[in-house]
Structure 1
Amino acid sequence: MSRRKLTDEQWDRIEVYLPGWAGRPGRSGVDNRLFVDAIPWMAGNATHWRDLPEVFGKWTAVHARFRRWSHAGVWERMFHAMADTPDFEYVLIDSTISKVHADASGAKGGLKLPRSVVRAAA
């Protein structure tokens, strides 16, 4: 798990773009670092939210926070701010999309044979 955790230097770079502050009252900035560390873990393991280790907190809370930050544009602002950093000049983003046939994805339907073919096979 430590392989996907942010280094102190990486954390110092992105901390200013995150909502909330750890020193303020309330839960606005509580465990921002732990939460941010959960995201590369999720991406690196290509798993479901329910499989998130409890060390990151309850998966429901982590997922809800991820959605709030996504809707608020936090990830996009951080990406744009970091994209101008010279250290990120040669960062590559990999994405794979696999199309699955509708029958394999649980869609209604499937192979439909005319009754005459079914009778002939019997």
Structure 2
Amino acid sequence: MSDFKNSLAVSASGLKAQAQRLRHVSENIANADTPGYRRKTVPFENVAAADGAAGLVKTGRVKLDRSPLAQVYDPTHPLAGPTGHYDGSNVDLVIEIADAREAQRSYEANLKMFEQSRQMSSDLMGLLRR
């Protein structure tokens, strides 16, 4: 029965990690037009369970993307310097949408694994009751 528990724990940790990733992606998209905003990324880390089960994952510390900020020309903007430029954000909406799609697909895969493990456990209990 511990194998079922481990598979549920692995898929649940994947669900949590992808949900956290999706939160940061949506925050990046929301701040795409915020001057000086740096894109946030979240790495995944392996976690060893207390019983030695492998495959658990969690999110690491949030990191800021250090790629250069876009220089936006708008002399009327309050943050514009003497040349009329100010620092935009380094958020690329195409990358964010791709990350969101990848997180969604991974979330769906983890959810399917969770449902399959739960169904197998339920079927096993049904067989044992006979």
What's the TM-score, normalizing by structure 2?
0.22
Greater relative contact order (Cα < 8 A, sep 6+) = 2
More helix per residue: 1
